[in-house]
Amino acid sequence: MRRRHLLALAPVAALAACTTQDGDPQADPEKTGADDPERTGEGRAEDPTDDGQVEETTEPPTAAELLLQDLSARELAGQLVLVGIAAGTEIPTAVLTEHHAGGIFLLQVWESATAVDDTVAAARESSRADLPPLIAVDQEGGEVRMLRGEAARRTPSAEELGAEGPAAVTEAYTTIGEDLAAHGIQVAFSPVADVVDPDLGDANEPVGGLGRGFGTEPEQVGECVTAAVEALDAQGVAATLKHFPGLGRVEENTDFSAEGIEDPVTGMDDPFLASFAAGIDAGAGLVMMSSAIYPRLEADVPAMFSSVAIQDLLRDQLGFDGLVITDDIGEAEAVAAVPVAERATRLLEAGGDVLVSADPSITGQLVDAIEDWAAEGPEHEQRVRESAARMLALKEDLGMLQR
């Protein structure tokens, strides 16, 4: 997705204007003295239509910019939460009608195409008509496929695809994109851009042990990530690079453990970051932050709460200006000790945008925390608006918003 990223941080009336002035040729570099007619105006024919006024042109506001100005504080806060809906369950009414969640993602294994379509339709019906929900799903291939059976075709694991090369990745991710688009799902929580440490291999539980990585060499993984992002984009589906800055050197799975989730190697100039850079260059719309800890970036701080990881490394160094989301903060053991409200505010303080929660029951607490934090002062309010603007920009890029 070659996105035209948006940061609608000011009222529409204050949008920047472009200015031009007609009739002044550029100065001649060969003649710049005081008697140069191009500096004095002598010897230049008068333009009868030139009244000396500066012509101003203003770009019309985008649909996302207009909508941003129309949202209440509660709606702005709600846009920064994505809520997991388990197979066989219904969307709790308050998630979209009261808390105005930015969207949902499908959890566990969905084999019924009808069940998927009904849930997507219910999400749309419960949302504000001009603010449709973002729908996402973990669909990587191999073991990590939330859509199966009649809901989606089988695709190989990243490990299998990486061994075959980018052409195989393109074929598999074209299939994934087609299947998601057919159900009105706009975002794939894939591809995995983590480079597996060859010394760990399958002992790298979150990636290598599940066959979720394309390989152990950054350039090769980057080529596969690029192929995946571009194949999804061709089907109108946004790709999510995960799990930044990489889970390939972590032994334990952050979903199930708060121990053994430190990566002592990854730093600002680590070669394993190349695969993420490749995915960013390919146009990925989202990046999912890891909940592991990287002492060389920021000691004792999960990456999703680290301003060094998000702002300094991902945004400033790698140039990503799209939507930064968390890994699960609802049920993951890695952040279980962090109070629910702090999970929201720490992400925003670090420069991240959207919380992903596998537990629908904490949606209200998360939105309350964001809304209360924004009310503490103009800087916090602006920070929330900035993230909401990114969410709306993504929705507009995906064709979800109407002017």
CATH number, position 224: 3.20.20.300
| Residue 43: predicted pLDDT | 42
Full residue range of the structural domain in which residue 219 is found:
73-397
- Measured CA to CA, the distance from residue 296 to residue 312 in angstroms comes to 13
Note whether 192 and 207 are within 8 A (CB): yes
Q: Is the pLDDT of residue 58 over 90?
A: no
Torsional sign, CA 213, 217, 222, 223: negative
- Read out DSSP for 279-317? HHHHT-SEEEEP-SB-TTTSTT-BGGG-HIIIIIIIIII
| Residue 403: predicted pLDDT | 73
pTM of the predicted protein model? 0.86
Strand partners, 192: 242
350-394: pLDDT as tens digits: 999 999 999 999 999 999 999 999 999 999 999 999 999 999 999
Which two three-digit tokens encode residue 39? Answer: 């500096």
Average pLDDT over residues 95-121: 98
87-105: pLDDT as tens digits: 999 999 999 999 999 999 9
Give every CB contact of residue 72 below 8 A, 6+ residues apart in sequence: none
| Residue 254: predicted pLDDT | 75
Average pLDDT over residues 73-81: 98
**Percent of the chain scoring above 70 in pLDDT:** 84
| Residue 333: predicted pLDDT | 81
Which two three-digit tokens encode residue 99? Answer: 């808390």
| Residue 256: predicted pLDDT | 59
In a domain, 275, yes or no: yes
Domain count, the chain: 1
DSSP 8-state assignment for residue 170: H
Torsional sign, CA 153, 396, 383, 283: positive
- Measured CA to CA, the distance from residue 161 to residue 166 in angstroms comes to 8
In a domain, 250, yes or no: yes
Q: Is the pLDDT of residue 44 over 50?
A: no
In a domain, 115, yes or no: yes
| Residue 84: predicted pLDDT | 98
Q: DSSP strand E in 164-266: where?
A: 187-188, 238-244
| Residue 12: predicted pLDDT | 36
| Residue 332: predicted pLDDT | 83
Q: Is the pLDDT of residue 40 over 60?
A: no
In a domain, 363, yes or no: yes
In a domain, 177, yes or no: yes
| Residue 14: predicted pLDDT | 36
In a domain, 40, yes or no: no
In a domain, 45, yes or no: no
Q: 41 falls in which pLDDT band (50, 70, 90)?
A: very low
In a domain, 4, yes or no: no
Q: Is the pLDDT of residue 48 over 70?
A: no
Q: How many helices (H) and strands (E) does the chain have?
A: 13, 12
| Residue 51: predicted pLDDT | 55
Average pLDDT over residues 245-270: 84
Q: 148 falls in which pLDDT band (50, 70, 90)?
A: very high
Q: Is the pLDDT of residue 146 over 70?
A: yes
User: How many residues are there in the chain?
Assistant: 403
Q: 5 falls in which pLDDT band (50, 70, 90)?
A: very low
| Residue 52: predicted pLDDT | 52
The overall average pLDDT reported for the chain is 88
| Residue 334: predicted pLDDT | 80
Average pLDDT over residues 41-70: 69
Please compute Rg for the chain using Cα positions.
24
Q: Is the pLDDT of residue 49 over 90?
A: no
| Residue 402: predicted pLDDT | 85
10-21: pLDDT as tens digits: 333 333 333 333
